[in-house]
Structure 1
Amino acid sequence: MSAISCWNGHKVMNALPHRHLFAYAAPALALAMPTLPVYVFLPAYYAQTVGLGLAATGAALMLARVFDVVTDPVVGYLSDRVPTRWGQRKPWMVLGGMIAAPALVALVSPPPGAGQMYLALWSLLLYLGWTLIAVPYTAWGADLSRDQRERTRITGWREGSMVAGILLAGLLPVLLEAFGADQVEPMQAIAWLALMLGGVTLATLVWMVPDAGPDRNQTSARPPLRRWQSILSLWTNGPFMRLLIAWCINGLANGLPAATFLLYLDHGLQTDEMTRNGLLFAYFLAAILALPLWAAAAARWGKPRSWSAAMAVAVLAFAVVPFLAPGDDLAFLVICLLTGAALGADLALPPAMQADVVDFDTWRTGERRAGIYFALWSMASKLSLALAVGLGLPLLEALGFTPSIEDGPDPVWPLLAIYAGLPVVLKTAAIVLIWHHPLTPRRHRAIVSRLARRQSGLSGEGSASRDQ
């Protein structure tokens, strides 16, 4: 790995070579592909085609999701604390792949007579495998560099690869449907393509990219924390808690439009199926294309201000939605492009900020705990998305929107309130939290410098910003 690289005129220490960066980001494409069949196609398939019914299908998937949230901190702890001869992060990802692969195949190819326990068991194993891959994977990205701009570059490549995987998974059913495929074949095609790509990219990652894990030399200057001190230090990390709360609020603001997107297109804009697919594709394509722009903005103005600007763009776009009428497809395409571009910042910048607050924790505690921090980050993401569906849809019904042909057209204003109104309020609150985030680029550089002096055995840490 080269010691110094230049990126946008900025000298980057320990910059990741392009071949390592590509090898690190590539597995995200395969990891993201199954999310479309698992979260969109699978529930309806088991409820209707397999014949479990909505209640039984929902209960089985809810059980698996609850277990999924609980496993995050466990996997994060193991990834941080259990070194192996093969590396700190790699073994857990390989184990996760070995669990997730057969589980995904079993879910998209159920045998005759598959019931609720079948769905619950294989869903639970799939989520466990995904967690074993995702938590060490994101923590590994934080281990690869301590430079703020280089971390933005690393997370940008990884999240861009993930969005590309979602796009590929969304395009494949359209192509198969054109050739007369039934409901099951697209799910199976996406699953098998994800497994093939995942096997190749994960093997390449394990072979090419160094896995040093947390730097244990950093802990020598201070005694290890006791367990209660370790837990307390997480919640007293001011920059982390501020970032985590903003991330949860923004995640809910993104989850509400996602949960009501198709409803708005059907009842608000009254679009046809081809237009819906085109708008969805444009949304994710804009996210990919905007990633380099947000990376450049973060290099110039810092990640907190750049992320705040992206959320402000989304706020302005959502504020226009209530003024659209049925048939305003072109205007809504512009909104999809703007909110999709803002999604690019949501994907790249907050995880890079998360890696920076891990450095702050290392300076405070003497321990490197990227795994547990990214596990908490993952838990917050899952809870935000669950709340978006669990609260947004019932609230929509409580406000009088219950789509039914027999009852005639429903009032559109509740749909506009959930789809566009609440995201405007929530994202504005997130902007207030992030705009003056205390871990500025200058303070982060000071922390990294002190960590380097500590590691080399020098004194003089100073007394800066323990109370941030």
Structure 2
Amino acid sequence: MKNRFVNSPMTYAFGMLAMMIPVQAFSSFYSFYYVETLGLGVGLATLARTIYMIWDAVDQPMFGYLSDKTRTRWGRRKPWIYSAMPLFVLTFVMMFSVPEGTSGMQLFYWFLISLMLYETVSTVLWVNYGALFPELYRGDKIRAKASAIQQVFQIIALLIGSALTPLLYTNFGFDKMSMVYALAFVVFMWICMLTVREQPKASLEQPLKLGDAFKETLKNKEFWLFNIANSFAQTVNGLLGSMIPFYAKYVLKLESEGEVSIFLASVFVSVIPLVAIWYGVVRKLGGIRAWRLAFLMYALSVIPLWFAQGLGGGIAAGVSAGFGLAGFLVTPAVLSGRIIDLDEERTGRRREGMYTAVAGFITRSSGLISAMAFWIVGMAFGYVSGKNPGPNPEMAFKYLISVIPFCLLLVSFVISLVLKRSSLEPAVAPTDRHLSV
């Protein structure tokens, strides 16, 4: 592998592209597939997510600790990613390949088992891929640059996973759609892994014992404030992604899948140039101030979704939401890397896996908040499923895509104010560099 491709932010970002295409298709359409199309009740869907979250509280830190502890000649993270790749393909296809005629409690059990398997394998991938970022890129400037490139790839993935999906499942079915995305995952993740070279020094350090690793993580105040704030904003990401198909149908009253795809594209295409603007904001204001500003702007940007009507209004509101989304996608990576750097100064060890895993659990718990919001608001307005939408589904999904996100983002902003700027921003910026072999 030529040196210029080794640990390049561009080739590393292919991993984000690989995972986010199927993940976005899942997060945006699993509710639509199981609840609206197959008729699974919202209450049962929420119960399945709750059961999974209990397991996720265990498996996230467990896989993070095991990843930090791994010692091989190929590194700590790559063996886990290579092993998880075929399992991810199988479980993702399983999610969208419900046997014909499955209904009632059988459908619930299929959803629950598929969800548990798929999300567990996803955890292995996200923990290890995410743990590579702070190891490969050191310093705020290179992290901001790498994060911006990564988020451009993420937005491309969001666009594909959101806007292309309705066309694929309408013409070929959900099962064939999942196979196409599984193949894309394998190709792009393989490109990423071929160019990653882990830092040998990290594998020479003796890992902390399990109890000590948990103790050091739990007492890190900055880590918890940072990730709890992010978790509320991540709930908004989940709500926007999963509610957009319902919003397009019941609020904007779009009739064709082509119109739905155009609306979805308006949200995510606009984010790509806006990522560059937020990269400039990070460089000018610094990590923590840019991060706070992103929460505030994201909250304001979802307000137009309440007032939008028709395809034209939906596109305008989608572009507005895209501006806020871009800020939240770019800004957290700089601060999360700094938190891990400070932990290394205290413990003498790089523990990206544990921090990425626990952060992943906190932010992924947003999926439960999102599911609970869907259930509570749905019950309030009488929405049960696509077969029983109730008397006022339009108002239900206006609340879920605008009012609830606005409130959650204000909570994120308030929590971000508690985090002291001096605790995360170094007095002298470290040399920006990325590691290569």
Would the TM-score normalized by the shorter structure come out above 0.5? Answer: yes
2:140 is aligned with 1:148: yes
Distance apart, 1:147 and its partner CA: 0.8
Q: 1:137 aligns with which of 118, 129, 136?
A: 129
Q: Secondary structure at the match of 2:408?
A: helix
Equivalent runs, 1:383-402 vs 2, <5 Å: 383-398=365-380, 400=381, 402=383
Classify 1:112/1:265 alpha carbon distance in 2 versus 1 (closer, same or farther; 3 Å). closer
Distance apart, 1:210 and its partner CA: 0.9
2:185 is aligned with 1:201: no
Q: Which residue of 1 aligns with 2:317?
A: 335
Maintained 8 Å contact 1:72/1:376: yes
Task: Measure the CA separation in 2 of the matches of 1:47 and 1:397.
Answer: 14
Classify 1:169/1:187 alpha carbon distance in 2 versus 1 (closer, same or farther; 3 Å). farther
Q: Which residue of 2 aligns with 1:239?
A: 222
Quick check: 280-289 or 403-412, which moved more? 403-412
Aligned Cα root-mean-square deviation (Å):
3.8
Q: Secondary structure at the match of 2:8?
A: helix
Q: Which residue of 1 aligns with 2:435?
A: none
Q: Which residue of 2 aligns with 1:26?
A: 14
Structure 2, unaligned stretches of length 5 or more?
A: 432-437
Q: Secondary structure at the match of 1:278?
A: helix
* Fraction of identical pairs, as percent: 22
2:413 is aligned with 1:425: no
Task: Measure the CA separation in 2 of the matches of 1:382 and 1:357.
Answer: 19
Q: 2:356 aligns with which of 371, 374, 378?
A: 374
Q: Which residue of 1 aligns with 2:23?
A: 35
Task: Measure the CA separation in 2 of the matches of 1:48 and 1:160.
Answer: 31
Q: Which residue of 1 aligns with 2:232?
A: 249
Task: Measure the CA separation in 1 of the matches of 2:280 and 2:402.
Answer: 29
Q: Which residue of 2 aligns with 1:317?
A: 301
Q: Deviations over 1:311-359 (max 9, x none)?
A: 222322334455x3745x5444333112112212212221331111111
Number of corresponding residues:
425
Q: Which residue of 1 aligns with 2:434?
A: none
Q: Which residue of 1 aligns with 2:155?
A: 163
Classify 1:197/1:437 alpha carbon distance in 2 versus 1 (closer, same or farther; 3 Å). same
Higher relative contact order (Cα pairs below 8 Å, separated by 6+ residues): 2
Classify 1:216/1:91 alpha carbon distance in 2 versus 1 (closer, same or farther; 3 Å). closer
Quick check: 238-247 or 307-316, which moved more? 307-316
Q: Deviations over 1:424-445 (max 9, x none)?
A: 3332232233357435598436
Q: Deviations over 1:206-230 (max 9, x none)?
A: 322211267367x69xxx7665443
Name the aligned partner's letter for residue 138 of structure 1: G
TM-score (norm 1): 0.77
Q: Secondary structure at the match of 1:215?
A: helix
Structure 1, unaligned stretches of length 5 or more?
A: 4-15, 450-468
Q: Which residue of 1 aligns with 2:119?
A: 127
Task: Measure the CA separation in 2 of the matches of 1:211 and 1:408.
Answer: 54
Classify 1:354/1:214 alpha carbon distance in 2 versus 1 (closer, same or farther; 3 Å). farther
Distance apart, 1:203 and its partner CA: 2.8
Name the aligned partner's letter for residue 170 of structure 1: S
Distance apart, 1:102 and its partner CA: 2.4
Classify 1:443/1:173 alpha carbon distance in 2 versus 1 (closer, same or farther; 3 Å). closer
Q: Deviations over 1:81-118 (max 9, x none)?
A: 11112111100001110221223334444567875555
Q: 2:66 aligns with which of 70, 73, 78?
A: 78
Quick check: 28-37 or 59-68, which moved more? 59-68
Maintained 8 Å contact 2:144/2:334: yes
Distance apart, 1:31 and its partner CA: 1.2
Name the aligned partner's letter for residue 125 of structure 2: I
Maintained 8 Å contact 1:107/1:119: yes
Classify 1:50/1:334 alpha carbon distance in 2 versus 1 (closer, same or farther; 3 Å). closer
Q: Which residue of 2 aligns with 1:190?
A: 177
Task: Measure the CA separation in 1 of the matches of 2:56 and 2:99.
Answer: 24
- The structure number with the bigger radius of gyration is 1
Maintained 8 Å contact 1:80/1:214: no
Distance apart, 1:77 and its partner CA: 0.7
Name the aligned partner's letter for residue 77 of structure 2: R
Classify 1:280/1:362 alpha carbon distance in 2 versus 1 (closer, same or farther; 3 Å). same
Maintained 8 Å contact 1:242/1:437: yes
Q: Secondary structure at the match of 1:33?
A: helix
